[in-house]
Structures are given as C-alpha cells and as structure tokens.
C-alpha cells in the first residue's frame, strides 16, 4: 500500500525567523522518532507517511537548507507554464528543481480565482513540472455556488480532464488534491463520506486514463486539522491531505502527520 502524503501549503505566510522555528520543530520531531537529534546516520525517514512543506518561492533556499537530508520534502506553490525567458516575475520548473523541490502545487483555487488561471493553463503548468521531474499537486474543487447547484462532480471532472488531456501517459505521476473552495480557510470541512465520494469519482476518471491510477495520491484539502484528519484519512480513496492554516503550527501539523501513520 502506498504511504499517505501530508503536504503543508503555507500560502503567503512566514518570514525567515518564523520559517526557521517551524521547520526546526518539524525536523526535530521527525529526528527524535528516528532515534536521535541527528536523525540517524542516514538522516532516516521517521514518519509512517510522506510529509512535505510547500513554501513561498522566496524562502525555498532557506527551507531547503533546513530540510535537506531529513524526512521532510520540499515543495513550491506555483510554477510558470513557460520554460524560460522574458516572463518577469515567473519561476520556472527547472528553477524549482534546481532548488530541490520534489513537489509543486498547481491550479490552487486561490490562483484560479485571483489570477484567472484556466484549466488549460493549469494543465500546462503540470506538464512543465513533470518535464522537470517535479510532481505537480493538481488542485480541483467546486465553489460554494457550484456545490449548492449539485455541480461538484462535473466541475472536478472538467478540471482533471484538462490535465489528463495534456499529460497523457504521465498522468499516473501526478498528485491530485480535492479542495472544495467553500471548505478552504472557513473551518467547514467536507464530511469524510462526501470527500470519499468525490475522490472515488476522481479515481474512476484516472482509471479510465491509466492502468496505474491506484498509484496516484488523491489528497483532501479544506480546513483539515488535528481533530478531523484521522477520519478523513481513513477513507479508502483519501491518500493524504493538503493542509493550509494547520500547517503553520508545528504541533497541529505533526498531529495530522501522526494521524496519517
């Protein structure tokens, strides 16, 4: 069985001092589980699940220095759909790779909503990440209005279809995150049954596209916290979490990691 994946999305939060404190707390918790402050000779993996932090791009170098050789994986929050060149302000997949990123979030609802990102652009970003050897965490999810109109399945299938269409046989290399927009930062969570229902729809869509669909992690995101994580993560198609607010507090994030064990 694949290990669950718990990824923290710090969004636009942090500074050098708070990042160092948070990462040191996470790393030392992992090291103490593996039997020593140094994390053992290999810096060994200590958690039963995979754990990652997706930090603001300007702090990737700082975070890399603190997590290198530990169980904590490094990720980014966005990537350019272009390879290189005259795209002021953009960060390419190769740059992320150069900085040690293994993961990058693409198509977060905040980028779709505030930056006008379309399904096609999100698919192109996923493609650039894959080409650089970085796993894209492709976010899908319906708004409150779409939820209330009963359009949830249509929306998430349309969003994932664009990524499948563009990425073809590489699709088993992505991670999908189901993040109902109405649950993000609101304290409202999809019930475990509701999350499972949507995850099962996404799994079926992946199965139609690849024989390796069961390898794909489908994460739940949206007010996941220390209290509700275990129940959400117990669902058969919930392979982990994409955690916003609770990933900024070491004890909360560590509780969610423990719940995924």
Active site residues: 108, 179
What residues line the site for ligand 13P (CB under 6 A)?
Answer: 9, 108, 179, 184-185, 221-224, 242-246
DSSP H/E element including 21:
helix 16-33
CB 168 within 8 Å of CB 131:
no
Question: What minimum distance in Å lies between the beta carbon of 13 and ligand 13P?
Answer: 10
Q: Tally DSSP H helices, then E strands, for the chain.
A: 10, 8
Q: Region of 36 please: left (phi>0), alpha (psi -120 to 50) or beta.
A: left
- Closest-by-Cβ residue to ligand 13P is 244
By beta-carbon proximity to ligand 13P, the closer residue of 119 and 179 is 179
By beta-carbon proximity to ligand 13P, the closer residue of 210 and 235 is 235
By beta-carbon proximity to ligand 13P, the closer residue of 222 and 240 is 222
By beta-carbon proximity to ligand 13P, the closer residue of 69 and 185 is 185
Question: What minimum distance in Å lies between the beta carbon of 104 and ligand 13P?
Answer: 12
Question: What minimum distance in Å lies between the beta carbon of 113 and ligand 13P?
Answer: 11
- Residues 183-186: contacts with CB under 8 Å, at least 24 apart: 183/221, 183/222, 183/223, 184/109, 184/110, 184/141, 184/221, 184/222, 184/223, 184/244, 185/223, 185/244, 185/245, 186/222, 186/223
Question: What minimum distance in Å lies between the beta carbon of 53 and ligand 13P?
Answer: 12
């Amino acid at each position: 069985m694949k290990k669950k994946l718990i990824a923290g999305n710090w969004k636009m939060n942090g500074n050098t001092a708070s990042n160092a404190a948070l990462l040191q707390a996470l790393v030392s918790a992992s090291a103490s589980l593996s039997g020593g402050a140094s994390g053992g000779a290999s810096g060994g993996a200590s958690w039963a699940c995979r754990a990652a932090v997706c930090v603001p791009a300007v702090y990737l170098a700082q975070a890399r220095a603190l997590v290198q050789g530990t169980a904590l994986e490094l990720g980014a929050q966005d990537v350019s759909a272009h390879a290189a060149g005259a795209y002021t302000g953009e960060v390419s997949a190769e740059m992320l790779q150069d900085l040690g990123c293994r993961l990058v979030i693409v198509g977060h609802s905040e980028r779709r909503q505030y930056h006008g990102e379309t399904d096609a652009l999100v698919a192109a970003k996923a493609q650039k990440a894959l080409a650089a050897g970085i796993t894209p965490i492709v976010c899908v999810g319906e708004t409150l209005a779409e939820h209330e109109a009963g359009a949830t399945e249509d929306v998430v299938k349309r969003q994932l279809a664009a990524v499948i269409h563009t990425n073809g046989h590489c699709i088993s290399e992505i991670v999908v995150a189901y993040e109902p927009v109405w649950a993000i930062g609101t304290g409202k969570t999809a019930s475990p049954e509701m999350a499972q229902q949507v995850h099962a729809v996404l799994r079926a869509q992946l199965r139609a596209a690849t024989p390796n669909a069961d390898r794909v992690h489908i994460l739940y995101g949206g007010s996941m916290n220390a209290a509700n994580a275990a129940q959400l993560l117990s669902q058969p198609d919930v392979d982990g979490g994409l955690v916003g607010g609770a990933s900024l507090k070491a004890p909360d994030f560590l509780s969610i990691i423990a719940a995924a064990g």
